[in-house]
Amino acid sequence: MRQTQFLQMFLVVSLAWLGAFLADAEDAYRYFTWTVTYGTISPLGVPQQGILINGQFPGPPIEAVTNDNMVIDVINKLDEPLLLTWNGIQQRKNSWQDGVLGTQCPIPPGTNWTYKFQLKDQIGTFMYFPSTALHRAAGGFGALNIAQRSVIPIPYPTPFGEFTLLVGDWYKSNHTALRQSLDAGNPLPLPDGLLINGRPNGFTFTGQRGQTYKFRVTNVGIATSINFRIQGHNLTLIEIEGSHTLQEEYESLDVHVGQSVTVLVKLNGSPKDYFVACSSRFTKPIFNVTALLRYDGSNIPASLPLPIAPTYQIHWSMKQARTCRLNLTANAARPNPQGSYHYNTIQVVRTLVLANTATKIDGKLRYAVNGISYVDPDTPLKLADYFNIPGVFTLNTIKDTPPSGPATPGTSVVGTTLHDFVEIVLQNTENAIQSWHLDGYSFYAVGYGSGSWTPDMRKRYNMADAIYRHTVQVYPLSWSAILVSLDNKGMWNLRSAILSKRYLGQQLYVRVWNNEKSLLTEYDIPPDALLCGKAKKTS
């Protein structure tokens, strides 16, 4: 017994050090070298400084397969420290590679660092983006598409082809100008427009009449929810952020900041061009952007009007959100049905009610969660933990329910135990849409409601087939509830996906912990981990 354990341990350690992370031998490795630079781009007709990866805006798309091992060498040629984060990639046992300031030191200008992680048991439409210093407002983001392994069936007929749409709001101001405005205590203005794949209009997707195509749609914006639709065609929803959904038909779909949906579209119209339209939600005025769906060989241009979109209606969106449900008999990345995890039978051990507020600290606009407006310490939390460096953070300074009193700056870390099953209620006290993202996990988005959440609202939760996802919207003056099984040890960022709010403090970390040090629950620090802050002196 002891010997087996020792052998197991030995094997694990050797493998871990050989590959720097665990991987099955058959899983492919994909190597990338990405040079990140500034470059002039003019997506809205005005030249401005953008952030390019290998000269591209948006950055290069990653087309991968479940369980692929990613080796991505990022060369930072910006004049500011840089990190890239992999939105929705769970980084199992591996928050070391998550690419946020709570887990990693940023890559200094003029240097490079190589991310190594596995796309373990994940499938679907994801994205990556720079997580530091408002860089994302200037670019550096791109698609991260994960296809199924050849041995795993998908619960829909194989599409003839697929298209990726990165849709987002855009500002003509560069990221340093936007940052200066936020640092001065001003909110961001409305964006100047919307882009699809970096273009204000006219991006063209060409398909064959009679065939069905997969459209992968991600909201890569920094502030604005969008509605997506295609003239003359319905959308069959198949996947949301890694979960296969009931295949319902929609005329249009709302996609909030940081979220992804995948739909099938059958090209069964008459041969011509059709508008692919995206409009802003909950803004006045409404912004529109179009792309074209061209039937191959057609030369009949698309004709106005654009297909109609919902305007301000919040309830329309909330109702639609409730219709998106898991297909319990479909598999996801693994062959077992998604419904085999009966979250309705698991005891919630802790409820966190997290209220976001807009506030002023020292006369300047800040955003807070339960009265604490997050400030990044110089030392990543994960390194403080690893090297036992005191004075970086204190667990649970943030309360489990919203306290009264003014907000203060702080470094919020919620301490939890590995395998806790937790209910998190996101209470939005602002009259603005929110979008919340949790790194390292998917969670069940079980409820949406108006007004203030009370325990009574649990009766309204979807305890059967709620979507298992990584980003949830919270409507103005409303709440959303999620359930999450904290089975991934590490330090995980819970943040507003709305960039200015995150930048001004609407985020925190969840430390998922047990005292047993084992490579079976968490990988060791990468040998080449960058060290900074107080971690630098220790080593």
Ligand X SMILES: *[C@@H]1O[C@H](CO)[C@@H](O)[C@H](O)[C@H]1NC(C)=O
**191 and 288 Cβ atoms separated by less than 8 Å:** no
Q: Which of 32, 60, 63, 73 binds ligand X (CB under 6 A)?
A: 73
Binding segment toward ligand X, per CB under 6 A, in 324-332, 342-350, 354-362, 427-435: 324-332
Q: Does 306 bind ligand X (CB under 6 A)?
A: yes
Residue 63 CB, nearest distance to ligand X (Å)? 22
Instruction: For ligand X, give the closer residue by CB, 131 or 290.
Output: 290
Q: Which of 45, 157, 285, 527 binds ligand X (CB under 6 A)?
A: 285
Binding segment toward ligand X, per CB under 6 A, in 232-240, 361-369, 377-385, 390-398: 232-240
CA separation for the pair 380, 101 (Å, rounded): 6
Q: Which two tokens stand for residue 410?
A: 């702080």
CA separation for the pair 105, 217 (Å, rounded): 31
Q: Which of 15, 16, 44, 177 binds ligand X (CB under 6 A)?
A: 177
Q: Does 249 bind ligand X (CB under 6 A)?
A: yes
CA separation for the pair 67, 21 (Å, rounded): 13
Instruction: For ligand X, give the closer residue by CB, 306 or 361.
Output: 306
Q: Does 260 bind ligand X (CB under 6 A)?
A: no
Instruction: For ligand X, give the closer residue by CB, 200 or 232.
Output: 232
Site map (CB under 6 A) of ligand X, residues 348-367, x = contact: --------------------
DSSP state of 355: E
Instruction: For ligand X, give the closer residue by CB, 7 or 46.
Output: 46
* Residue whose pair of structure tokens reads 């084992």 in the numeric block: 518
Residue 407 CB, nearest distance to ligand X (Å)? 30
Instruction: For ligand X, give the closer residue by CB, 110 or 406.
Output: 110
Instruction: For ligand X, give the closer residue by CB, 181 or 397.
Output: 181
Q: Which two tokens stand for residue 183?
A: 């640092």
Query: Nearest Cα to 497, choosing from 486, 485, 506?
Result: 506
Query: Nearest Cα to 108, choosing from 85, 71, 83, 131?
Result: 83
Give, as ranges, the residues between 86 and 115 that touch ligand X (CB under 6 A): 112
Q: Does 232 bind ligand X (CB under 6 A)?
A: yes
- Binding residues with ligand X: total (CB under 6 A): 26
Give, as ranges, the residues between 385 and 444 that touch ligand X (CB under 6 A): none
CA separation for the pair 499, 521 (Å, rounded): 31
Instruction: For ligand X, give the closer residue by CB, 206 or 234.
Output: 234
Instruction: For ligand X, give the closer residue by CB, 270 or 514.
Output: 270
Q: Does 176 bind ligand X (CB under 6 A)?
A: yes
Query: Nearest Cα to 88, choosing from 126, 131, 118, 140?
Result: 126
Q: Does 251 bind ligand X (CB under 6 A)?
A: yes
**289 and 200 Cβ atoms separated by less than 8 Å:** yes
Residue 412 CB, nearest distance to ligand X (Å)? 32
Q: Which of 64, 75, 354, 446 binds ligand X (CB under 6 A)?
A: 75
Q: Does 234 bind ligand X (CB under 6 A)?
A: yes
Q: Does 201 bind ligand X (CB under 6 A)?
A: no
Instruction: For ligand X, give the closer residue by CB, 308 or 395.
Output: 308
Q: Does 33 bind ligand X (CB under 6 A)?
A: yes
Q: Which two tokens stand for residue 278?
A: 């995206």
Q: Which of 12, 44, 49, 450 binds ligand X (CB under 6 A)?
A: 49
Site map (CB under 6 A) of ligand X, residues 129-168, x = contact: --------------------------x-------------
Instruction: For ligand X, give the closer residue by CB, 327 or 412.
Output: 327
CA separation for the pair 225, 207 (Å, rounded): 27
Q: Phi and psi for 76 in degrees, rounded to 5?
A: -90, 100
Query: Nearest Cα to 276, choosing from 253, 257, 260?
Result: 253
CA separation for the pair 191, 310 (Å, rounded): 19
Q: Does 190 bind ligand X (CB under 6 A)?
A: no
Q: Phi and psi for 424 in degrees, rounded to 5?
A: -120, 120
Q: Does 118 bind ligand X (CB under 6 A)?
A: no
Q: Does 327 bind ligand X (CB under 6 A)?
A: yes
**Exposure on the CB side of residue 38, measured as CA atoms within 13 A:** 12
Query: Nearest Cα to 222, choosing from 193, 185, 199, 186?
Result: 193
Q: Which of 211, 247, 450, 452 binds ligand X (CB under 6 A)?
A: 247
Strands 29-41 and 69-76, how do they pair? Answer: parallel
Q: Which two tokens stand for residue 322?
A: 């409730």
Residue type, 523: Y
Q: Does 37 bind ligand X (CB under 6 A)?
A: no
Q: Which of 309, 332, 352, 481 binds ligand X (CB under 6 A)?
A: 309
- State whether residue 319 is helix, strand or coil: helix
**63 and 73 Cβ atoms separated by less than 8 Å:** no
State the CB neighbour count (10 A cutoff) for residue 476.
15
Report DSSP letters for 21-37, one per residue.
S---TTS-EEEEEEEEE
Q: Does 320 bind ligand X (CB under 6 A)?
A: no
Q: Which two tokens stand for residue 359?
A: 């506030």
* Burial per residue of 257-291, b for 16 or more beta-carbon CB atoms within 10 angstroms, e otherwise: bbbbbbbbbbbeeeebbbbbbbbbbbbeeebbbbb
Residues at the contact surface with ligand X, assessed by CB under 6 A: 33, 49, 73, 75, 112, 155, 174, 176-177, 232-234, 246-247, 249, 251, 279, 285-286, 288, 306, 308-309, 327, 329-330
